[in-house]
Amino acid sequence: MFASHKLFNGSQIPQALQDKIVQEVQALDNKADAGSVQLVLSPDLTQHIAVVGLGSSESSANTSEIVRTAVANGIKQLKAKKVANISIAPMPCAHAAGEAAALASFTFTGFKTQKKAEETPLSIVAADATAEWNAGQVYAEAQNFARELMATPANFMTPTIFAQRVQDEMASLPNVKVNVFDEKWARDQRMGGLIAVSQGSDEPLRFVEIVYQGRPGPGPVSLALVGKGITFDTGGYSLKLGKNMDLMKGDMGGGATVVAAMRAIAQLQLPINVVATVPLCENMVSGRATKVSDVYTSRAGLTVEVMNTDAEGRIVLADALHYTVEAHQPQSVVDVATLTGAMVVALGELYTGVFTPSPSLWQHIDRAGATTDEPVWRMPLHDRWDAMLKSPIADLSNIGCKGEAGACTAAAFLRQFVDGPRLTPPAVMREQNNDESVPRWAHLDIAGPMEASTSEGYHHQGMSGRPTRLLIELAKQLSAE
């Protein structure tokens, strides 16, 4: 219902029911503000009806987010009334309504031994299930899959279990091939960084590769997605504080969102060739663990001095990025990682920080974020960050030498392994914001958005599964190029 008390697609609702809904909403002085909900009873008093507010404008630029929030709030209120079967009437944005239906019904209680007696299985359908509604469901179910992977305790989501889940999820999808590699393969691939991080854990590493061939015949890989897969992060010898360490079961959030997006891309059969890689391991403390000041040799041949073992995500991502670019030669490569606490300080949980030298790739990511209402913010790349990665004994340090610009130097470190090392800074240092060389590269730091602090609207408190829908939308946009 709009603020004018006009029902969207009211012509499809019996006049008597329309009149009752409008009269009751008006009598209760409900303004139909965006996202509001008013429960009324059907004329025969047998059904609850959630009248959701769509706000004052019938052509708002925020229509998708308004619909997503309103539908989710309506579902939650009906669920609180123990309604088991919900039918969603046509909405201004069917895709957003389909997303809301799946996102709002997500729960994660898989390890509770006793269910609440009042819990009732919830069935949600569309009164008119269009292609847009169905696509929205696929987007949202992918995010829910990422939420589940991230929320699962680390002893039930080891690198081996994660890799097996990927194989199980992808097994029935057409045009998809999944490869799972072990430590021997990683050593053969000269992945010194992945080996260095993983060697402190008793859990064996895994390297997952997903290849989706959405276009017939041979053709280039349009998009590569690389996700950080640290299934638990203690910080290693640069040990984290105990407070909030439980969240580190979600430190594989980049890998989870990448895998979930790939599942949706294949389900939607998008006409695009996409590759995803996820280096999987734990970052633990033991007699075998990498120590501060140790030096390893990366797959790119660059030596790296480990000045902070809690900056391990960039170490495993560097090897994965170098392998992905060399093996698949993608036109664009996007890495996704819960990488730095500095990004949480800078942007909080709302925005994903995006580092890219490519204006055109940034425009695609920005548009994908706007379409899915998963906000992004472009962060700076600069020659100065490269200069801060110097080490007195190795080619690079894994952290900046000045203890500042933590998210920026992490991004600069990763870029060294995409399009070649930048070990000698230019005489005149400049911002790196206008480079369209192939592969176009972007780094998404999702350390803030990895967790939702509230369950407002379609959000679920806990691991968020973001930015899964953005990644799917990005692939969709690139498929049209």
Residues that are catalytic: 240, 314
Cα gap 365→382, rounded to integer Å: 20
Bridge partners of 305, per DSSP, are: 295, 397
Cα gap 244→303, rounded to integer Å: 32
Decide if 291 contacts 197 (C-beta within 8 A).
no
Bridge partners of 181, per DSSP, are: 207
Cα gap 32→40, rounded to integer Å: 13
Cα gap 146→450, rounded to integer Å: 10
Cα gap 481→475, rounded to integer Å: 10
Decide if 353 contacts 407 (C-beta within 8 A).
yes
Decide if 332 contacts 224 (C-beta within 8 A).
yes
DSSP for residue 431: B
HSE (CB half, 13 Å, CA atoms) of 438? 9
Helix or strand holding residue 178 (H, E): strand 176-181
439 preceded by cis ω (within 30°)? yes
Strand 85-88 to strand 48-52: parallel, antiparallel, or no bridges (unpaired)?
unpaired
Q: Look-up: residue for tokens 């060739």?
A: 273
Cα gap 147→22, rounded to integer Å: 38
- 111 Cβ neighbours under 8 A, 6+ residues apart: 153
DSSP, residue by residue, 237-255: TSPPPSTTGGGGGGTTHHH
- Max Cα-Cα span within the chain: 81
> In 3D, which of 214, 139, 138 has the Cα closest to residue 177?
214
Q: Write the secondary structure of 84-144 as one string of H (helix), E (strand) and C (coil).
A: CEEEECCCCCHHHHHHHHHHHCCCCCCCCCCCCCCCCCCEEEECCCCHHHHHHHHHHHHHH
Q: Pseudo-torsion of CA 448, 453, 456, 459, nearest 10°?
A: 50
- 476 Cβ neighbours under 8 A, 6+ residues apart: 268, 270
